[in-house]
Amino acid sequence: MDASGQARVALAARVREALNSVVDPCSVAAGAPAGLTEMGLVRAVEVAPGPAGGQHVSVVIAVTHPGCLMAAVFAVRAERAVSELAGVESVDVDVDAGFQWSEEELAEDYRSRLVEVRARRRRGVRERGGSDRVSEGHPSAGPEDRLGERAGSAVSERRSLITRKRRW
């Protein structure tokens, strides 16, 4: 590989690092912030000579779910992060809306960190006497699971009031 090829390979690695600075808010909500690269959302990075002597970078990113509203935000932030790199003349960012993401796409070190965070949350919830479903954000978690015992008793009181009114 010649010197220009090596420079493009090095720039592609810096591009992936820069893309990792674009953090997925769902990972933040999960308690383990991760960038696009760690999340496995960077599908392709291509570096080619640009017309003015710099490098043209093409990036393809994806989202974790077809309905994710962050696609446009990710694209703008990715373009900004990559365009700030030395030697980059121009940037194209495309979103692969058809990509079917799964947790298998996660970088191995991030996957390990996420497993650790989830385990800590489960232990904390159990120690407080709650349900494991809270830590996973399980959609079937009832009011008692999501809001604690006070909310559960408030819901029960409301149900009994409604039932009494129907009897009158």
- Residue 142 sits in the same domain as residue 69: no
Total domains, the chain: 2
pLDDT digits (tens, 9 = 90+) for 107-166: 999 999 999 999 988 887 777 776 555 444 444 333 434 334 434 444 445 445 444 444
Would you say residue 124 lies in a domain?
no
Q: Quote helix, strand, coil % in the chain, to nearest 5.
A: 50, 15, 35
Q: Is residue 80 part of a domain?
A: yes
Please report whether residue 116 resides in a domain: no
**Tens-digit pLDDT profile for residues 61-108:** 999 998 899 999 999 999 999 999 999 999 999 999 889 999 999 999
pLDDT, residue 131, reads: 59
Does residue 165 lie in a domain region?
A: yes
Which of 7-11, 51-55, 89-93, 163-167 has maximum average pLDDT?
Answer: 89-93
Residues 100 and 33 in one domain: yes
Per-residue model confidence (pLDDT) at position 138: 42
Residue 148: per-residue pLDDT:
42
pLDDT computed for residue 141 by the predictor: 38
Same domain, 43 and 87: yes
Residue 43: closest CA among 97, 80, 79, 114:
97
CA distance 109 to 48: 30
The verdict on 9 and 53 lying in the same domain is: yes
| Pair 105, 144 in one domain | no
- Pick 1 or 135 by higher pLDDT: 1
pLDDT at residue 13 greater than cutoff 70:
yes
Domain boundary among 109, 125, 154: 109
pLDDT at 61: 97
Q: Is residue 7 part of a domain?
A: yes
Q: Which domain holds residue 14?
A: 3-109
Between residues 166 and 7, the one the model is more confident about: 7
33: domain CATH number is 3.30.300.130
| Same domain as 148, residue 73 | no
The number of beta carbons lying within 10 Å of the beta carbon of residue 28 is 11
